[in-house]
Amino acid sequence: MVKLGSAFSDNLVQSGRSRFRGSTGESPWWAGAGRALVFATVLCIAFFVLTWRLFDLTTIHGLEYRKLSDNNRTRELIIHAPRGLLLDRTGRPLTVNVPHYRLLKPCTGGGVTECVSYLTKDEGDRLTKQGLPAGEYLEVDYLRQYPYEDALSHVIGYTGELSQEELSSDYYRSRNYGLGDRVGRMGAEEVYNERLRGRDGKEFVEVDASGKILRSLGRQEALPGEDITLSLDADLSRVAAQAFPPGEKGAIIVSKPDSGEILAMYSSPGFSPNAFTSGMSSAQYQALVNDPALPMFNRAIGGVYPPGSTFKLIMAIAGLETGAITRDTIVEDNGSITIGPFTFPNWYFIEYGKTEGPVDIVKAIKRSNDIFFYKVGEALGITRIDEWAKKLGLGKPFGIELPGEASGLVPDPAWKEAHFRSPADLAARNNLWYLGDTYHVSIGQGYLLTTPLAVNMWTNIVASGGKSCKPTIAKRTSQKEERNSCKDMGLKPETLSLITQGMQEACAPGGTGWPLFNFGVKKNIGNRESSAGDSSIASSSGARSPIRDTLVPIACKTGTAEYGEPLDKTHAWFTSFAPIPDQYVPDDVKKTDSYISGTPELSVTVLVEGAGEGSNVAAPIAKKIYEAWFTR
């Protein structure tokens, strides 16, 4: 019975079960404390989610979002550092930096990555006046130009833009390289890249919502790259390139014998490094690298060839130093030597049907007599030839800074057996090295292979009085540095004297280097520079002073090397140095009014592939180089 109040009757009988009670008459758990527990749980979960999100935004990704926020109002602009210049030994620039604009804009497809393109100064100036779309910026950058084009392309190299793959590597990433940065790709540009590179500066600016720069917030100046002085002579390098026969392949090395410094290095054919700066298409690049003439291959240090008769200088050193021959050794030239069914002739007998008669070491070098050096090789044996060739630096790189230097090949019996022994030879225990092999090596043929740089280096050993100086494209800065780069080979003075005398006579009437016979240049009395066509030169007062021919005796060795070409073509070699010491100057030259002698100033080595005889083809090239050097 329940009493409901005045609105109802006094009594009401409750006949059904209570809505909020169970069968036992008790309330369910969620109707009381359970409801509070559910609410508290939901509240805790929501609080945890919010707390975690706050932690994620502020701690885990806080720096990232801070940068994004800052980028909405600030911008970091790069101040590009000019690349250091490469200078020749006189301070003349071999490279030039040309200012260009660098346009940065979002790449197609969106994202935060920027694309970089280079603009000329005119294009950049025009965009600056017109204004740039939001989010695009102009930076002043520098592009490399090479005023000497292919004359120095292999030794100077070129610069190229880093690819995305390179930028992702640890090497470039650790050195703070960025999109659009350029690095040296070959030659001195690659060797000295880090010194040349410089360090970029920065400028922080405030921008509005459209990307327009409002004001500068701070600036860090760029640090230009280091200028590097090389050993190269720019004028001589240009003369060497111009002297080389058009369309021919080969190389020229000009160096200082007493230091190993390279004055000129030319490889033909060459290429224009400016093409890489101005930009070339993929098709143009593929055409360049796939060219069968290999214009990007540095033949001066990477090409290997049989050295021909230039190797007779090595044979002369080995023979005289070991006592296999002396200054009194005489070999009778009868035109050829016959061993069993094989005949080994002298070149003079093949071409003219004549013999030289009695030949000593000086005459052998002067006339490049094969018979004499066959006998020197027979007296030495291949083991001692190999030993002396390697002692003088052959068979391994000489260590020039430029990448790509080849080792060449100095063969011996073990090498031949490893490469030519057949199972039948092995079973019969046949000796595969024959006396004929030794004869071939003795005149620079057979399996022997060297680089033009190697020929120049052993020429320098004679020219420098027995020193072997490491070749370099860096200018030596002190006599101490020169001494540390050179090694005394311990050769006897008589050895060097006899070889120098023979080389001097090779470039005098009766020798093989006929283009250099009685070589001289036109100079005025005061040793002032004049052109070869002038007959007088102006004095400081305006009067003309007479000039006269000045003789320059040269020491040289010619070479003509067979290389198995079906049409019997030969490589043309010529290696030389000048001036020669006064004691080797002939008496008839000393009687003239003017001649140049003394410590050798430069050595010149020329190779022209498959072009004929060294005296006919390579020597005239060297002559033009000597003319350029001694007239100035």
| Confidence (pLDDT) at 120 | 77
Q: Are residues 175 and 247 in the same domain?
A: no
Q: Are residues 240 and 331 in the same domain?
A: yes
| Confidence (pLDDT) at 531 | 37
Q: Above 50 in pLDDT, residue 404?
A: yes
| Confidence (pLDDT) at 452 | 98
Note whether residue 374 is domain-resident.
yes
* pLDDT one-digit tens code per residue, 7-53: 545 554 444 444 445 555 555 655 567 777 777 888 888 888 888 88
Q: Above 70 in pLDDT, residue 230?
A: yes
Sign of CA dihedral 619, 624, 625, 631: positive
Q: Above 50 in pLDDT, residue 378?
A: yes
| Confidence (pLDDT) at 65 | 66
Note whether residue 11 is domain-resident.
no
Read off the pTM.
0.82
Q: Are residues 321 and 202 in the same domain?
A: no
Q: Which of the residue ranges 84-93, 96-105, 152-161, 329-338 would you say has the lowest mean pLDDT?
A: 96-105
**Residue in this structure with the two tokens 């003789």, named with its chain if needed:** 551
Tokens of 567: 């049409």
Q: Say if CB 484 and CB 462 are below 8 A apart.
A: no
Q: State how many domains the chain has.
A: 2
Q: Which of the residue ranges 146-160, 358-372, 517-531 would you say has the lowest mean pLDDT?
A: 517-531
Q: Are residues 262 and 373 in the same domain?
A: yes
| Confidence (pLDDT) at 95 | 97
| Confidence (pLDDT) at 269 | 97
Q: Say if CB 382 and CB 437 are below 8 A apart.
A: yes
CATH number of the domain to which 247 belongs: 3.40.710.10
The residue among 229, 247, 278 that closes a domain is: 229
Distance from C-alpha of 90 to C-alpha of 261, rounded to nearest angstrom:
14
Tokens of 455: 């020929």
Type and span of the H or E element at 235: helix 234-243
- Which residues does 275 contact at the CB level (< 8 Å), separation at least 6? 284, 288
**Which one of 102-106, 210-214, 390-394 scores highest in mean pLDDT?**
390-394
Q: Above 50 in pLDDT, residue 220?
A: yes
Q: Are residues 470 and 588 in the same domain?
A: yes
Note whether residue 36 is domain-resident.
no
Q: Which of the residue ranges 157-171, 283-297, 544-558 would you say has the lowest mean pLDDT?
A: 544-558
The residue among 229, 245, 262 that closes a domain is: 229
| Confidence (pLDDT) at 209 | 62
Q: Are residues 209 and 251 in the same domain?
A: no
Q: Report in angstroms the alpha-carbon separations of 100 from 212, 278, 407.
A: 22, 11, 42
Q: Looking at residues 132-141, what average pLDDT do you find?
A: 78
Note whether residue 440 is domain-resident.
yes
* pLDDT one-digit tens code per residue, 245-269: 999 999 999 999 999 999 999 999 9
Note whether residue 5 is domain-resident.
no
Note whether residue 291 is domain-resident.
no
Q: Are residues 188 and 325 in the same domain?
A: no
CATH number of the domain to which 219 belongs: 3.90.1310.10
Note whether residue 138 is domain-resident.
yes
Contacts 24+ apart (CB under 8 A), 109-118: 114/179, 116/179, 116/180, 118/143, 118/279
Counting every residue written for the chain, the total comes to 632
| Confidence (pLDDT) at 66 | 67
Q: Are residues 216 and 334 in the same domain?
A: no
Of 519, 552, 548, 525, the closest CA to residue 535 belongs to 548
Q: Above 70 in pLDDT, residue 212?
A: no
Angle at CA of residue 188, ends 183 and 190, nearest 5°: 30
Of 435, 439, 449, 448, the closest CA to residue 346 belongs to 439
Q: Above 60 in pLDDT, residue 544?
A: no
Note whether residue 571 is domain-resident.
yes
Q: Above 50 in pLDDT, residue 528?
A: no
Which amino acid is it at 433? W
Share of the chain above pLDDT 70, in %: 85
Distance from C-alpha of 8 to C-alpha of 414, rounded to nearest angstrom:
130
| Confidence (pLDDT) at 535 | 35
| Confidence (pLDDT) at 67 | 63
Please state the separation of Cα 94 from the chain's center in Å: 15
Q: Are residues 169 and 241 in the same domain?
A: no
Q: Are residues 225 and 238 in the same domain?
A: no
Mean pLDDT (the chain) is 86
Q: Are residues 199 and 328 in the same domain?
A: no
Q: Which of the residue ranges 133-142, 297-306, 447-456 would you say has the lowest mean pLDDT?
A: 133-142
Q: Looking at residues 220-234, what average pLDDT do you find?
A: 94
Q: Above 60 in pLDDT, residue 533?
A: no
Share of the chain above pLDDT 90, in %: 60
DSSP state of 182: E
Range of the domain at 302: 234-270+297-519+554-631
| Confidence (pLDDT) at 552 | 95
| Confidence (pLDDT) at 573 | 98
Q: Are residues 222 and 247 in the same domain?
A: no
The residue among 173, 198, 229 that closes a domain is: 229
Cβ neighbours of 259 (radius 10 Å):
23
Of 370, 395, 294, 383, the closest CA to residue 561 belongs to 370
* pLDDT one-digit tens code per residue, 316-331: 999 999 999 999 999 9
Tokens of 416: 């031949």
**Longest alpha-carbon distance in the chain:** 163
Q: Looking at residues 605-613, what average pLDDT do you find?
A: 97
| Confidence (pLDDT) at 447 | 96
